[in-house]
Amino acid sequence: MNFTKMHGLGNDYIYVNCFEETVESPSECARILSDRHFGIGSDGLVLIMASDKADFRMRMFNSDGSEAEMCGNAIRCVGKYVYDNRLTDKAEIIVETLAGIKVLLLDIEDGEVVLVRVDMGEPVLRPSDIPVNSEKDTFISQPVIVNGQQYDVTCVSMGNPHAVAYVEDVSKFPLEVVGPKMEVHSLYPRKINAEFVQVIDSETLKMRVWERGAGETLACGTGACAVLVASVLNGVSGRKATVKLLGGDLIIEWSEKDNHVYMTGPAVKVFEGRIDL
């Protein structure tokens, strides 16, 4: 099988062009190929496919084989892949995901995509739709006990579920201890992506993320969007901010005009290869 390794801010996936390749067991392939010692090594597997609703369809599988609804970093790389490999000549494309249709605006230099702006749609705040086991209308700054410690958590779905909490120093935060327990907390029937955030100022947020099915990753695009929304709701940031992740920075804006969240960031091809499955 031919593949391309790509990353968005270090959130790395294996991309397969399903116009040319057939992946019969994507969940199993994701587990095997994502292994950083015995496989290619990645946070998961992304399939680029035909769609009857959009220009392209994206399916993505975490490194544990579970299928995820969306990934902001991965979809930027899909945009770069389809343009750079001449599957499209359009600078604006629409991509079908399990989280709905997403619109991508491609920033092109010398015939290649360098930045992608993604319309991530409207944030979902109703707990039953995120989903969160709560009877409240929203889940904003609610106490959640993890490992004997209380965290004031705000939950947002950006096509997949996120729980955002604020800490004083995110660099020193024991994410490897708290993250996996937050992920499987009984509040979250489909598990959760957990973001822990340090507010630098009203235009700068620093975060780390524990992704369900993958553990700590260098970046999470939907997570960064959820962090900006949560920060606006908690009154700690404006509606546009730089979100600093371990792998680099994303510009996130929650538009008052249409209530959509927009994410801008890079997409990078690392290498191409062929593997015997």
265 has binding-site annotation = no
97 has binding-site annotation = no
160 has binding-site annotation = yes
4 has binding-site annotation = no
What is the torsional sign of CA 11, 182, 157, 49? positive
133 has binding-site annotation = no
Instruction: Compute CA distances 197 → 167, 204, 266, whole Å.
Output: 6, 10, 21
Kindly provide the residue ranges of all beta strands, DSSP E only, lying in 66-99, ordered along the sequence: 67-68, 92-97
239 has binding-site annotation = no
What would you measure as the largest C-alpha separation in the chain, in angstroms? 54
11 has binding-site annotation = yes
Rounded to a whole number of angstroms, the CA Rg of the chain reads 18
Is 71 assigned a catalytic role?
yes
Determine which one of 77, 155, 220, 225 is catalytic: 220
Is 220 assigned a catalytic role?
yes
Q: What residues have CB less than 8 Å from 24, skipping those under 6 apart?
A: none
212 has binding-site annotation = yes
Determine which one of 71, 77, 155, 225 is catalytic: 71
Q: Tell me the two tokens of residue 219.
A: 């970046």
What is the torsional sign of CA 18, 20, 23, 24? positive
> In 3-state terms, what secondary structure has residue 222?
helix
193 has binding-site annotation = yes
39 has binding-site annotation = no
- Catalytic machinery residues: 71, 220
Residues in the annotated binding site for substrate: 11, 62, 72-73, 160, 193, 211-212, 221-222
Which residues are part of a known binding site? Answer: 11, 62, 72-73, 160, 193, 211-212, 221-222
